[in-house]
Amino acid sequence: MGDCRRVGVAVDFSPFSRKALNWALDNLVRDGDHLILVNVTSDGYYESGERQLWEATGSPLIPLSELTDPHVMKKYEVNPDPETLDLVSTVARQKEITVVLKIFWGDPREKLCEAVDAIPLDCLVVGNRGLGKIKRAIMGSVSNYVVNNATCPVTVVKAHD
């Protein structure tokens, strides 16, 4: 990917991840950067050979042109929302950035940290659902784990202003 920056944004195609993506596009991404959308999904149903490869390494980097193709996304069992697709398509043209998606399967906490090193990323932006202290203590916070364990700078975009 050359000398350009590789800016990662964790996306699950929810309003929280879209807010993080918006923040990254407004405040971080510059002309010529590579924007890597990192999606972590629960276990899927793939043919065993494909699945074993992808489970260890994540999917291949999926270019924006394929990200907008419903048939390709069905293969990966990912359903990007139209707002996110429109947002990244528009910014890719305006800022002349390269947009790709990388999918991992498993625990989001662990897989986001793995993605930082596997891709590798220069920085990562994650959303935060805004759970209260009790729910966060019971369920665990993905963003908190990633901030404390990732090997690159991590920005957490809060759900509430």
2: pLDDT strictly greater than 60? no
pLDDT value for 139: 47
**Per-residue pLDDT reduced to its tens digit, 145-161:** 999 999 999 999 987 65
Rounded CA gap, 125 and 26, in Å?
A: 12
1: pLDDT strictly greater than 50? no
To which H or E segment does residue 6 belong?
strand 6-10
pLDDT value for 36: 97
**Per-residue pLDDT reduced to its tens digit, 87-144:** 999 999 999 999 999 999 888 999 999 999 999 999 999 998 765 565 545 545 888 8
DSSP letters along 78-137, please? ----HHHHHHHHHHHHHHT-EEEEEEEES-HHHHHHHHHHHTT-SEEEEE-----HHHHH
Instruction: Using DSSP bridges, classify how beta strands 98-105 and 34-41 pair: parallel, antiparallel or unpaired.
Output: parallel
Q: What is the CATH number of domain 6-157?
A: 3.40.50.620
To the question of pTM greater than 0.95 for the whole model, the response is: no
Sign of CA dihedral 148, 154, 158, 159: negative
